[in-house]
């Protein structure tokens, strides 16, 4: 028996441009508290749009989205950071701050909401231990393997103990063995009471877990199966090869579009840099204009990274010149 829904879509349709096929159409679905759900479907099927609506990053064209009992259409903009503070987000490409250690990347998610230093010093080591990186807190992202970087990203997403964790292709860049370890970690988080919704093309993960599987085709749910597998004999399934994949003409505005993710916290739109996606992933729950101090992580460092990226964009040999000057 399922518990009360923590996410609910009531007849939701989302169209990005007039005349375009809806990214999501007539969507009626619930995700219960404590569930682990796999969201599957071909590219352009609507998975990422569904997640973006849960985050209130985009609004439905029609219908209502409820998260934790709140009608998001009635949620004022100043309450959006509080909503997102209760939603962890994990990306396929990790989105870590490249110049910060594993410890500092996790610390950042706490610092932006003004967590007391005493609490930070307790929580970050706990997270590092939970993800099996207690001895690698001082390593920079480039000194970690892909699997280790994803573990840091998961720790950052979970450090505030969100009730919902959204994972967009979290094993997509990992080998099968490493992916299995990431899946175990997400399972542990789920067992602690967090609802996990994982969009994936990883058939091994889905077949191994045998959890609820929701398949989307053309913006609609065509399969909602408890204890399901990746493929199905259902004739409406695209990923099983039973229905032609017509997604090539669709434009779903996926979560891995850095320019979209960078604007999560309501900041003015600006030219994205390599630092922006990591910054957005770590501080999407900060109160806009609150003046909350970011302890131990200097904003100047991020500005330096943006400036360096701007210089590299203007002069492709600038990085080589810098190296020669050192």
Q: What is the pLDDT of residue 113?
A: 86
In 226-304, DSSP assigns E strands to none
CATH class of the domain defined by 5-296: alpha beta
Q: What is the pLDDT of residue 252?
A: 53
CA–CA separation, 131 and 148 (whole Å): 9
CA–CA separation, 246 and 156 (whole Å): 37
149, 151, 157, 159: CA torsion to nearest 10: -120
Per-residue pLDDT of the chain (326 residues; tens, 9 = 90+): 567 799 999 999 999 998 889 999 999 999 999 999 999 999 889 999 999 999 999 999 999 999 999 999 999 999 998 899 999 999 989 999 999 999 999 999 998 888 999 999 999 999 999 999 999 999 999 999 999 999 999 999 999 999 999 999 999 989 999 999 999 999 999 999 999 999 999 999 999 999 999 999 999 999 999 999 999 988 888 898 888 876 544 445 544 443 333 333 323 333 444 455 555 555 454 444 444 444 444 433 443 444 444 444 444 344 444 444 34
Give which of 317, 283, 275, 321 is closest to 300, Cα–Cα: 275
Q: What is the pLDDT of residue 217?
A: 94
For residue 232, give Cα distances in angstroms to 90, 198, 213, 244, 284. Answer: 27, 18, 10, 15, 37
Beta bridge partners of 67: 7, 70
**What's the predicted TM-score (pTM) here?**
0.77
């Amino acid at each position: 028996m399922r518990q009360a829904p923590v996410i609910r879509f009531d007849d939701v349709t989302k169209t990005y441009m007039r005349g375009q096929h809806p990214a999501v159409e007539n969507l009626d679905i619930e995700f219960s508290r404590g569930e682990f759900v796999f969201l599957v479907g071909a590219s352009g099927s609507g998975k990422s749009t569904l997640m973006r609506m849960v985050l209130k990053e985009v609004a439905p064209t029609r219908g209502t989205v409820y998260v934790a009992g709140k009608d998001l259409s009635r949620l004022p903009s100043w309450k959006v950071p509080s909503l997102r503070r209760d939603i962890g987000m994990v990306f396929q490409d990790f989105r870590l701050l490249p110049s910060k250690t594993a410890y500092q990347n996790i610390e950042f998610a706490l610092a932006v909401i003004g967590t007391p230093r005493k609490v930070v010093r307790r929580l970050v080591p706990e997270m590092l231990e939970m993800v099996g990186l207690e001895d690698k807190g001082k390593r920079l992202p480039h000194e970690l393997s892909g699997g280790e970087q994803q573990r840091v990203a998961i720790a950052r997403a979970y450090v505030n103990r969100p009730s919902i964790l959204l994972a967009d292709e979290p094993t997509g860049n990992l080998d099968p063995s490493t992916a299995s370890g990431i899946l175990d970690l997400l399972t542990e988080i789920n067992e602690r009471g967090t609802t996990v919704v994982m969009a994936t093309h990883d058939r091994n993960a889905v077949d191994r877990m045998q959890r609820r599987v929701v398949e989307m085709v053309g913006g609609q749910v065509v399969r909602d199966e408890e204890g399901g597998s990746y493929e199905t004999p259902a004739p409406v399934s695209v990923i099983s090869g039973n229905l032609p994949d017509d997604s090539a003409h669709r434009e779903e505005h996926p979560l891995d579009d850095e320019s979209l993710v960078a604007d999560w916290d309501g900041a003015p739109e600006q030219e994205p840099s390599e630092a922006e996606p990591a910054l957005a992933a770590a501080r999407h729950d900060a109160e806009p204009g609150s003046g909350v101090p970011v302890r131990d992580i200097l904003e100047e460092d991020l500005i330096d990274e943006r400036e360096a990226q701007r210089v590299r964009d203007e002069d492709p040999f600038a990085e080589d010149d810098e190296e020669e000057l050192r």
